[in-house]
Amino acid sequence: MCRFTLYLGPSIRLGKLLIEPEHSLINQSVRSRERKEPTNGDGFGVGWYAPRLSREPAVFHSVRPAWSDRNLRELSRVIATPCVMAHVRAATAGFGVDLVNCHPFSWRRYLLMHNGYIAGFERIRRRLLAPLSDTAFGLVRGSTDTEHLFAVFVDQLLRDGEAANGADPALRLAERLAATLRQVLQAAAAAGVREPHYLNVAVSNGQQAVVSRFTTDPVGDGDSLYLLRGNLYQTTAEEFGERDREERDTAVLVSSERLTPAPGWQAVPRNHLVVIGRGERPRLLALNELAEIV
Amino acid sequence: MCRFTLYLGPSIRLGKLLIEPEHSLINQSVRSRERKEPTNGDGFGVGWYAPRLSREPAVFHSVRPAWSDRNLRELSRVIATPCVMAHVRAATAGFGVDLVNCHPFSWRRYLLMHNGYIAGFERIRRRLLAPLSDTAFGLVRGSTDTEHLFAVFVDQLLRDGEAANGADPALRLAERLAATLRQVLQAAAAAGVREPHYLNVAVSNGQQAVVSRFTTDPVGDGDSLYLLRGNLYQTTAEEFGERDREERDTAVLVSSERLTPAPGWQAVPRNHLVVIGRGERPRLLALNELAEIV
Amino acid sequence: MCRFTLYLGPSIRLGKLLIEPEHSLINQSVRSRERKEPTNGDGFGVGWYAPRLSREPAVFHSVRPAWSDRNLRELSRVIATPCVMAHVRAATAGFGVDLVNCHPFSWRRYLLMHNGYIAGFERIRRRLLAPLSDTAFGLVRGSTDTEHLFAVFVDQLLRDGEAANGADPALRLAERLAATLRQVLQAAAAAGVREPHYLNVAVSNGQQAVVSRFTTDPVGDGDSLYLLRGNLYQTTAEEFGERDREERDTAVLVSSERLTPAPGWQAVPRNHLVVIGRGERPRLLALNELAEIV
Amino acid sequence: MCRFTLYLGPSIRLGKLLIEPEHSLINQSVRSRERKEPTNGDGFGVGWYAPRLSREPAVFHSVRPAWSDRNLRELSRVIATPCVMAHVRAATAGFGVDLVNCHPFSWRRYLLMHNGYIAGFERIRRRLLAPLSDTAFGLVRGSTDTEHLFAVFVDQLLRDGEAANGADPALRLAERLAATLRQVLQAAAAAGVREPHYLNVAVSNGQQAVVSRFTTDPVGDGDSLYLLRGNLYQTTAEEFGERDREERDTAVLVSSERLTPAPGWQAVPRNHLVVIGRGERPRLLALNELAEIV
């Protein structure tokens, strides 16, 4: 069922997010605190943006548990980035642990990752694929529900035209994610799937990011998810260089579990989206209508 | 483009096929002789039957080159089996090297592997999947043309009823493979694919096996393929135990390249099937009609 | 700190030990019950004997967690053997997860695995290696305490002459393991190491096996270890074939944790060896003198 | 026996060295041109410096062939660095392909890699380790000759004091490498090893680098090695930013094979060191005395 962390803000060294915090993602791969099954040892992935060198983000995947991967620790030491999406995987029954099934998934400037599952996925896999353009269909190389959900997302981008972002690109991205979730829920409903879905999905293009905390389970709030704004850690001038305080305070973190015991982490409300634009205050949007698709 | 070896006959130690011959499959993973690109280092797989312990064959897959895999050498020492299908992979452009993409593929009693490629596969992937039953569709977990071809094969088995094998089950299996190739060629033709296909496909259920040497390339005979009957190696009583000579002579090997310099290897003619039943003389059947599908 | 299982008895299908029991070793890789840190996801290994095909056992190693390894499940279905040693690893701080560091270690007919650790190992590594013959020294390819302990064991075999087994080979093997532990403890004591050692070590040659439950920790009994004799499971004629009841009752299992809730599992007493010979009643020997090496 | 590439100069994107050149290191992993056995598919490694983020270099290792590793291509897109050491491995008989055995090896600011082998290594392994300090001894985690050679190198650094670099740190580094090679050759000679050694070794600390082309084979020049100075590729302002031409011309590449067909690559003479300091002209030093150690 996985755990993930998304960061968007001033350039930060990967280790500050993935390794050093008291309850870092690497520690969550060993023992997460807010999942029924605490271990997330079915591979991991990190996607990050390096805008000066490439338009598109890079992705690093491994089928090994995050806790024992030396490459991850090495990369964490020497990479700094203004936007990261990192994910540790717990695969259903431990199967399908393959590189093709690691999150985040990527296409052009976009990265997407997911904690949860699409109920009845094997029964609706065909329905999800059927309406897709050939391009979106061709993106699917593995067997995860997440990769199929991403194909739906990309299909919409292709239909709309990526550039149709308007004046509020973060909101546009939010609408796209909501539309993706809607399409998935409708396909499942049409197939008569009644079991609850768990759809904490994060997507970004390096400048905007949106994260859902969504479930159709009538009980509870779905998988855990937290938001933290502002200057997270005890930073020194060294960390952020000569950037001014105002910029430092624009760091935004959305994470399955709280990386640190610091105050400031707020639980994302059930069935809401966190909508993030670089340099802006994050917004919370309700996903009311989605909850009504049975 | 891969190399493979199939064996059906008295129980034989895996090492006798995979490790010990002068031009074993492991040696072919380093340097095959009859491929344009000699290296086959994009993973490997071995499927074998252990009829006293299980109805279904076991499959061992690895993304590592066969030549450096210690597990393969260890297993080869201690496993004896009456039917083996082993494959070393050369992936197009070295990508998609994942466990889900290793041959042989398996379903119930069946194993299938392939040397070659379906031309224009990415363009016809949807067409191949569209007519399949949900069960066959659900088998596909990766992105290889071979896995999709196998899904077509399984779909036919499910439609026919597996048990509809009649008096000549080896021939029935041959008809099924031919029908599978036909369906693939027709889908490609309907999509306007003109480039040549290379379809050396091996399928078995442990008792019968069929191997195709097929190409629509007007030039040449397609990927290499050889047949050897009878008592292959200098065997001693130790090797085959107390079985009699007549049984020993029923060993049949079909292999992309000749494992040994011994006489007796015959090249399989272009566009033919080798049809093998346990204890029977292998037969060659022409695939005339398939060659006419453009 | 690992969990392991050793079996010596009539030929048994691997799955009956590794997969099917309610608390199988695969389940212990996810969540063991008697370790402080329950996860054992730092690779695994299985060694087994196939006497009709090879004098030496085969070993299968993987750096992946046992719970997600498809090859392990496949092998478990089709391999039957009269002696197995299987191990799931929890590496200190999750590092050094490499094939060279997987248990069991092997040399000629011998397999050895270990749950626990040699205290102060990095400080005594050189002392352990210094007195070894060149042959034993040359066996060490990785960095585990266990591999070094095995080199000490092999060195003794080479000095004694392997064949010097006398009338009670199981007891001879026990003496060798005790001597190995003694040498390790003495090296640590000479180096001034005071922290406690945990040395649950299993060694076998396919016909005899010895397992230690040993610690120098003054508190507690060391890592858990259980012994079970006799016909373990609800077996049918199918399972053991035509062998008679008397032979079936000679199955012996020694395991870090109880694989089943069945009665009959007895905890191995602190600082004892379990001494097993094929077809004999297992014996318990006290390791009194070793406990006195400080 | 491997191929490698070292770069020291203005910050350059990894892809410009590892992926894009006509005869890049990735292409050499498939088919190198100046080795008897062209394939180098036994794992690879890249070490690089990120001085603004870390004093020590990062290392990325994989046991997969470089040609099929997606992570390598992704990293190559988004990492720029002023000093890189990259290596594709061909292991003797394809064994010992493990992460611990990947080059480059690292310790503090130093990276070291090797193409070739120490003759009779297994016979002199103990002699090489015996005189080392405990710290240097403890660095060895695997079984390669290269890792042992690196331990010898580190041992000297520790004895001298790293800071004892004087006015010409590049020359000091050269002396250290020569002393390391000398110690290795002497150990082999003392053990009566007569077969020829092949010691193309590269070492760097991010500011200086030294590469040897050395063999005791009386015939030939040893493994191939080339040097290229100056502005290698068609660079644009984009590539090197606002740095001036003079700085761009200080790029130095030392590589087993010529990455491009451009003129300017000069073969390093037999039994010489290439001595490189950041911003300086590379120097060639003869290793006369080493050649006399028999």
pLDDT tens for each residue of B173-226: 999 999 999 999 999 999 999 999 999 999 999 999 999 999 999 999 999 999
Nearest to D100 among C100, C138, C140 (CB): C100
Phi-psi region of D19 (alpha: psi -120 to 50; beta: other; left: phi over 0): alpha
Cα dihedral across residues B143, B144, B147, B153: positive or negative? positive
Residue C26 in contact with partner chain A when CB distance is under 8 A:
no
Q: Tell me the range of A59-68, B23-32, C30-39 where mean pLDDT is highest.
A: A59-68
Tokens of B238: 């130790």
Which of B74, B100, B238 should one mutate to test binding to chain C, selecting the residue with the greatest count of C CBs within 10 A? B74
Cβ of residue B59 closer than 8 Å to a chain C Cβ: yes
Q: Which residues on B lie below 8 Å from D42 (Cβ)?
A: 65, 68
Q: Smallest Cα–Cα separation from A276: which of A3, A4, A9?
A: A9
Higher-pLDDT residue of A35 and B286 is: B286
C-alpha to C-alpha distances, A234 to A21, A78, A239, A248, nearest whole angstrom? 11, 20, 9, 11
The answer to whether D46 and D15 are in contact (CB under 8 A) is no
Give the closest of B122, B126, B141 to A96, CB-based: B141
- Nearest to residue A137, comparing CAs of B194, B124, B183, B105? B124
Task: Please give the pLDDT value at position C227.
Answer: 96
B135–chain A Cβ distance below 8 A for any pair: no
Q: How far apart are CA A72 and CA B176, in angstroms?
A: 48
pLDDT (0 to 100) of residue B247: 62
pLDDT at B263: 85
* pLDDT value at residue B161: 78
Query: Hey, what amino acid is at A190?
Result: A
What percent of chain B shows pLDDT beyond 70?
91
Nearest residue of B to residue A132, measured between CA atoms: B126
What are the pLDDT digits (tens) for B134-168? 999 999 999 999 999 999 999 999 988 766 567 89
Q: Residue D255's pLDDT is what?
A: 96
Closest chain A C-alpha to B141 CA, distance in angstroms: 5
Is the pLDDT confidence value at B294 over 60?
Answer: no
What confidence score (pLDDT) does residue D236 get?
A: 37
Is C83 designated active site?
no
B134–A100 C-beta distance less than 8 A: no
Give the pLDDT of residue C137.
97
Query: Could you tell me if D280 and D58 are in contact, meaning their C-beta atoms sit under 8 angstroms apart?
Result: no
* C164-200 per-position pLDDT tens digit: 567 899 999 999 999 999 999 999 999 999 999 999 9
What are the backbone dihedrals phi and psi of residue C130, each rounded to the nearest 5 degrees, phi first? -55, -50
> Looking at CA atoms only, how far is residue B248 from chain D in angstroms?
34
Q: Do C137 and D122 touch (CB under 8 A)?
A: no
Q: What pLDDT does residue D239 have?
A: 44
Q: Specify the pLDDT at position D122.
A: 95
Strands D80-88 and A80-88: unpaired
Place of tokens 């076998």: C204
Cβ proximity of D5 and D84 under 8 Å: yes
Disruptive mutation site among D68, D73, D99, D101 for chain B (greatest number of B CBs within 10 Å): D68
Outline where A48-168 has alpha helix (H): 70-78, 121-129, 134-138, 145-160
Residues 6+ positions from D220 with CB-CB distance below 8 Å: D270
A100 neighbourhood in chain B, CB within 8 Å = 96, 98, 100, 142-143
Which residue bears the tokens 């062209």?
D38
pLDDT score at D162: 67
pLDDT higher at A224 or A292: A224
Model pTM score: 0.94
Q: pLDDT at residue B5 above 80? A: yes
Exposed/middle/buried for residue D265 (C-beta within 10 Å: 0-12, 13-18, 19+): middle
DSSP state at residue D103? S
User: B-chain residues within 8 Å CB-CB of A141?
Assistant: 96, 142-143
Backbone angles phi, psi at C171, to 5 degrees: -65, -40
* Strand arrangement, sheet containing B266-267: B58-62, B44-48, B80-88, B3-13, B252-255, B226-229, B266-267
Taken in order B161, B166, B169, B174, the sign of the CA dihedral is negative
- B2 vs D52: CA distance, rounded Å: 46
Nearest CA in chain C to D97: C99
How close C60 comes to chain D (CA, Å)? 15
Q: In this complex, is the C-beta atom of C191 within 8 Å of any C-beta atom belonging to chain A?
A: no
Confirm if B122 and A138 have CB atoms less than 8 A apart: yes
Confidence of residue A75 (pLDDT cuts 50, 70, 90): very high
- A145 close to C (CB below 8 A): no
Structural element, H or E, at residue B184: helix B169-190
Cα distance from A68 to chain C (closest Cα, Å)?
5
- The C-alpha atoms of residue B14 and residue B86 are separated, in whole angstroms, by 10
Work out the angle at residue A29's Cα, subtended by the Cα atoms of residues A25 and A30, and round it to the nearest 5 degrees. 125
Those chains having 3 or more beta-carbon pairs within 8 angstroms of chain B are A, C, D
Q: Is the pLDDT of residue C228 over 60?
A: yes
Q: What single-letter amino acid sits at D253?
A: L
- Residue A289 has a pLDDT of 75
* Nearest to B113, CA basis, from B86, B143, B153: B86
Percent of chain D clearing pLDDT 70 (strictly above): 91
CB within 8 Å of A90: residues ≥ 6 apart: A1, A2, A3, A35, A37, A39, A40, A41, A42
pLDDT above 60 for B264: yes
The answer to whether the CB of D193 falls within 8 A of the CB of D120 is yes
For B64, the closest of D63, D67, D91 (CB atoms) is: D63
Asked if this assembly's ipTM is beyond 0.90, the reply is yes
Concatenate the DSSP letters of all residues of C23-49 into one string. T-HHHHHH--SSSSS----S-EEEEE-
Beta bridge partners of B115: B200
pLDDT in the model for residue D89: 94
> A260 — contact with chain C (CB < 8 Å)?
no
Residue C234 tokens read as 């609800």
Chain B contact for A122, CB < 8 A?
yes
- What would the mean pLDDT of A144-170 be, rounded to a whole number? 89
Instruction: Report the C-alpha gap between A5 and A25 in whole angstroms.
Output: 7
- Amino acid letter for position D121: F
pLDDT of residue C247: 62
Quote the pLDDT of residue A161: 78
Contact B120, B195 (CB under 8 A): yes
For residue D106, what pLDDT is reported? 98
pLDDT recorded at residue D117:
95
Locate all alpha helices (DSSP H) within C213-287, ordered by sequence: 237-240, 245-248
pLDDT for B248 equals: 62
Q: Do B71 and C77 touch (CB under 8 A)?
A: no
Q: Using pLDDT thresholds of 50, 70 and 90, give the confidence band for residue A236.
A: very low
Rg of chain C on CA atoms, in Å:
18
pLDDT of res. B244: 56
CB contact under 8 A, A77 and D53: yes
Chain A residues in contact with C30 (beta carbon < 8 A): 39, 94
Q: What is the pLDDT of residue C244?
A: 56
Asked if the model's pLDDT at residue A177 lies above 70, the reply is yes
Summary mean pLDDT of chain B: 91
- Nearest-CA neighbor of B59 among B102, B21, B9, B4? B102
**What does the pLDDT read at residue B241?**
45
- The shortest CB-CB distance from D30 to any of B39, B63, B91 is to B39
CA angle D278, D279, D283 (to 5 degrees): 80
Name the helix (H) or strand (E) containing A179: helix A169-190
Query: What average pLDDT score do residues B12-22 get?
Result: 93
Instruction: Say what the pLDDT of residue C166 is.
Output: 79
- Taking an 8 Å cut-off on Cβ atoms, the answer to whether D94 and B41 are in contact is no
Residues of A in contact with C64 (CB under 8 A): 63-64, 97
- CA distance linking residue A208 with residue D186, whole number of Å: 62
A235 touches chain B (CB under 8 A): no
Identity of the residue in D50, D57, D71 whose CB atom sits nearest the CB atom of A60 = D71
In angstroms, the CA A265 to CA A228 distance is: 5
Q: How many CB atoms lie within 10 A of CB A268?
A: 23
More confident residue, D153 or B260: D153
Tell if the CB–CB gap between C64 and A97 is shorter than 8 Å: yes
Q: Which of A67-81, C74-88, C226-240, D101-115 has the lowest mean pLDDT?
A: C226-240
Contact between D125 and C138 using a beta-carbon 8 Å cutoff: yes
What single-letter amino acid sits at B57? P
Q: What is the mean pLDDT of chain D?
A: 91
Confirm if B278 and B208 have CB atoms less than 8 A apart: yes
Least confident of A214-228, B24-38, C6-20, C70-84: B24-38
In eight-state DSSP terms, residue A138 is H
- Mutation for testing the C interface, residue in D61, D62, D99 having most C CBs under 10 Å: D99
Cβ-nearest to D39 among B39, B42, B70: B39
- Residues of B within 8 A of C74 (CB-CB) are 58-60
Q: Sort out which chain D residues have CB atoms less than 8 A from B31's CB and list them.
A: 39
Question: Do residue B50 and residue C78 have CB atoms under 8 angstroms apart?
Answer: yes
Tokens 């897109």 correspond to D77
Q: Is C96 in contact with D98 (Cβ distance < 8 A)?
A: no
For residues D249-265, give the mean pLDDT: 90
Instruction: Return the pLDDT at A160.
Output: 84
Q: Is A167 helix (H, G, I), strand (E, B) or coil?
A: coil
A59/A53 Cα distance (integer angstroms): 14
Partner chains of A (3+ C-beta pairs under 8 Å): B, C, D
The model's pLDDT over D18-51, given as tens digits with 9 standing for 90+, comes to 999 999 999 999 899 998 888 999 999 999 999 9
Q: Does A68 touch chain D (CB under 8 A)?
A: no
- DSSP state, D95? -
Contact between chains at D60 and A74 (C-beta distance less than 8 A): yes
Query: Do C142 and C101 contact (CB within 8 A), yes or no?
Result: yes
Instruction: Compare CB distances from D58 to A50, A60, A75 and report the shortest one's residue.
Output: A75
Contact D142 C137 (CB under 8 A): no
Q: pLDDT tens digit string along A99-117?
A: 999 999 999 999 999 999 9
As a whole number, mean pLDDT of residues A192-215 equals 97
CB-CB neighbors (< 8 A) of C48 in chain B: 78
Backbone dihedral angles phi then psi of residue C179, each to the nearest 5 degrees: -65, -35
Average pLDDT on C71-82 reads 96
